[in-house]
A = this chain, B = another copy of it.
Amino acid sequence: MHPFDAATTLEARPDGSFLGATHAAYGNFIGPYGVITAAQCLTAVLQHPQRLGDPISFTINFAAALADGAFTVHPRPARTNRSTQHWTIEMRQGDEIVATATVLTAVRRPTWGTHELRMPEAPRPHDVPRTTRRGVAWLERYDMRFLLGVLPRTWEGQGSDDSTSRLWVRDDPPRPLDFASLAALCDVFFPRIWLRRARQTPLGTVTMTVYFHASADQLAAAGSGYLLAQARGQGFAGGYFDHTGQAWSEGGELLATTHQVMYYKE
């Protein structure tokens, strides 16, 4: 079984909640990395018997650091309309809430459409060397090939005026794309403040939003190919900064847009 599938395996319980556990393959310095927490919350909605349609938007708020071990996810359809459904989600460890989330799912209908944000010109993924990043388990779950905005070579405070990163990225081992793995892939960016400042400070994501622009069929067509992912910081002030990002399929379709806020200490 692929580590992502193992990590997002949830056991349905009679009260409508799901039981899961953190997975060592997605470990960060302490506890699990946020990519997999996001995927686990979304998976609970995707597996819910009352779910209507596919994800359109997903917001997760990381309320506390998860401890390694068991958790429960509590999805609730707050409102079900004819073709849309609004979900609220809590993830708990013991009696404590460790994450809250909301998801909009909907039955998509054929309409006019366009990708206003075009995929930037880039060499093909196999023509770009894999970027070596080691140290924590989750980094080994992603094949990253940076085109722009790689980690600072030295941490001596020589930052850049532009915090843009652009990379080809896919699961490692490769795995066919789906909504949960796409949500996780939207959280693989290292903190934009590292590019601006080239110094390390305690930090962590506090909220992330993903807007899905692709249908399940389009994700299936993207298969286990690479995504072109990019992110750029917008504002940094008073201990919090945000970034805005996009992910395209290898074929150039805009699959998702994403935004997040990170806390930083100084």
Contacts and interface: CB of A to CB of B under 8 A. Distances in A.
Interface of A: 56-57, 59, 61, 63-64, 78-79, 81, 84, 86, 88, 90, 96-98, 100-102, 104, 106, 108-117, 161-163, 196-197, 206-207, 209, 211, 213-215, 232-240, 242, 244, 246, 254, 257, 259, 261, 263-266
A168 to B, nearest CB: 19
Contact of A266 (B98, B111, B265): B111
Contacts of A101: 102
Contact of A206 (B84, B109, B111): B84
A213 B239 contact: no
Given A104-B261, A232-B116, A234-B246, A111 B239 contact: yes
- Which one of A97, A109, A111, A259 has the highest number of Cβ atoms from chain B below 10 Å of its Cβ? A111
Nearest to A98: B79
A109 B239 contact: yes
Nearest to A79: B63
B114 A196 contact: yes
Contacts of A64: 79, 81
Nearest to A86: B63
A257 B235 contact: yes
A103 to B, nearest CB: 9
Contact of A61 (B102, B110, B236, B266): B102
Copies assembled: 2
Nearest to A255: B235
A259 B261 contact: no
Contacts of A109: 238-239
Contacts of A207: 56-57, 59, 102, 104
Contact of A242 (B106, B197, B236, B257): B257
A158 B98 CA distance: 49
A104 B59 contact: no
Contacts of A88: 88, 90, 100
Contacts of A98: 79
A106 B235 contact: no
A234 B254 contact: yes
B237 A113 contact: yes
B97 A236 contact: no
B61 A104 contact: yes
A257 B242 CA distance: 8
